[in-house]
Amino acid sequence: MDLSEVFPSGGRPQSLYCEDCGASMDMRFIHFSESVSGINMSIKGLPTLHCEHCDKEYLPDDSRFAVIYLHEQATKAGSDRVTTVRNKKEVTYKFSNVPFLIDADDYFYLPGLYRQHDVGFLSPLFFNSAVLIKYDNSPDYRVTFASPTYGEIDAAEYAIPFGINRFGKIIMWLGDVAKLPEAEQFYLRSENVESDHSLGSDFYDGQIECKFTELTKEKLVLEARSKFIGNFNKKFGVQLAHLDSQLIDTISALRPPVIDTEKERRYVFDSLNRIFLEALDNSVLNQVMTGLGATSRGSGSLKRLQALLEIFDASGKISEMLLPFYVLYDLRIAYSHLTSAERKAQLIASSASRLGLEAGFDLARAYGLILDLVAESLSYFSEIIEPPNTDVEKS
């Protein structure tokens, strides 16, 4: 290896994204053993950025500087060899009295986090996904999703952004967490886990890269879901849906299908049902519906939701707007192994017809269409139960 190869390509700082495939990379620690312009270098524990897709390593800027510096020192000393073990960086910044698990290497070696002011503010803290459940179940907080891997914990006085990495860990910044009441910080510490050095998420893209990616169907439908649940809570004072670890994992894994197989269809329709139907609290719907003097034509959550919404819109449109939810339910049944071949064919044909598709529909097309329709319906439901304040908008 020539020393010039150690310098960043084009003089640009190293980013978190692979130059070949554009995927987000994770940090790992390797035994760097290379001959660099005539100097045999052995550095144990050197941080690198690894692309899982390309199986390729990149050197973060501080690792580059270390290699360049050690090469320079060896050259000055007239030596052709460098052997060293890198010591992990120590946490020297202080934001909180709570002993969070912090890896200072994340802050200094993962691209984009280090700042000359408020040093350490953007140190990532990693948590079990269960950390969100407590906030979701509290009337004082709301957990909202702007995308499958970017969300926010909202309270009256503050909002804490969070991300979800590819391992299902929740990520927050130390500086944000340190602003919370100490009792809340101790709760977070109870779910705090060791760093897995993986930041790739819409959270990182938005917070660090200011990278406002295309508004995907997944982002739009999750935003619509969060808004509807929030408006429902505001209107009726009860939580319509609650998170659990399985639901968080399902939301974070929401992606367009890349293959069309029986197994993938079962996974896709089961996942969408879990997010948009099974998460609804049927007892809450019954409580609100009966409290408003409405009766439903069935005891299922969709029938009760329909009865409740028709209090606000009796035009018949609610039945039409609930169509994608009924289709989702039928498709889940069709692919769940719990029905006969004849019944399965009937459910698939009926679902396709209601969506305006052929019975042998393409999975990716059906998935995209369902997300569009669900997002449209949830947005409509939000507006009829909690109409926008037009006076505020005009001012």
Task: Identify the CATH number of the domain in which residue 48 sits.
Answer: 3.10.20.860
Residues 369 and 333 in one domain: yes
Check pLDDT > 60 for residue 216: yes
- Can you spell out the DSSP letters for 265-303? HHHHHHHHHIIIIITB-HHHHHHHHHHTT---SSSSHHH
Residues 223 and 244 in one domain: yes
Residues 202 and 323 in one domain: no
Residues 308 and 366 in one domain: yes
* Token pair listed for 225: 């879901």
The identity of residue 99, as a single letter, is P
Residues 296 and 395 in one domain: yes
H-assigned helices in the chain: 61-77, 104-109, 131-136, 174-177, 182-191, 202-207, 217-236, 245-252, 262-273, 282-291, 301-309, 317-321, 323-334, 341-355, 363-385, 390-394
Q: What percent of the chain has pLDDT over 70?
A: 98
- Render the burial of 164-203: b for 16+ CB within 10 Å, e for the rest: bbbeebbbbbbbbbbebeeebbebbbebbeebbbbbbbbb
Check pLDDT > 80 for residue 395: no
Check pLDDT > 70 for residue 391: no
Check pLDDT > 90 for residue 155: no
Average pLDDT, the chain: 93
Check pLDDT > 70 for residue 229: yes
The Cα-based distances of 204 to 1, 199, 209, 325, 350 in angstroms read 32, 6, 7, 32, 42
Average of per-residue pLDDT across 140-168: 92
Residue ending a domain, among 23, 57, 85, is: 85
Q: Write out pLDDT tens, residues 110-133.
A: 999 999 889 999 999 999 999 999
The Cα-based distances of 361 to 255, 260, 271 in angstroms read 18, 10, 19
Residues 110 and 241 in one domain: no
Residues 24 and 124 in one domain: no
Contacts with 161 (C-beta within 8 Å, 6 or more apart), sequence order: 150, 151, 152, 172, 173, 176, 203, 207
Confidence tier at 11 by pLDDT (50, 70, 90) = confident
Q: Write out pLDDT tens, residues 38-90.
A: 999 999 999 999 999 999 999 999 999 999 999 999 999 999 999 999 998 88
What pLDDT shows up at residue 157? 83
Residues 285 and 387 in one domain: yes
- Give me the domain span that covers residue 127: 89-213
Identify the three-state secondary structure at position 62: helix
Identify the three-state secondary structure at position 71: helix
Q: Write out pLDDT tens, residues 283-331.
A: 999 999 999 999 999 999 999 999 999 999 999 999 999 999 999 999 9
Confidence tier at 394 by pLDDT (50, 70, 90) = very low
Residues 187 and 324 in one domain: no
Confidence tier at 393 by pLDDT (50, 70, 90) = very low
Q: Which residue has the higher pLDDT, 263 or 389?
A: 263
Residues 257 and 393 in one domain: yes
Residues 257 and 352 in one domain: yes
Residue ending a domain, among 39, 67, 85, is: 85
Span of 304-308, 351-355, 384-388 with lowest mean pLDDT? 384-388
pTM, rounded to two decimals? 0.88
For 28, counting Cβ atoms within 10 Å of its Cβ (0-12 exposed, 13-18 middle, 19+ buried), the class is: middle
Phi/psi at 35 (5° precision): -95, 115
Residues 94 and 56 in one domain: no
Instruction: Please give the DSSP secondary-structure letter assigned to residue 194.
Output: -
What pLDDT shows up at residue 213? 63
Residue ending a domain, among 85, 114, 133, is: 85
Q: Write out pLDDT tens, residues 156-212.
A: 888 999 999 999 999 999 999 999 999 999 999 999 999 999 999 999 999 998 877
Check pLDDT > 80 for residue 136: yes
Domain count, the chain: 3
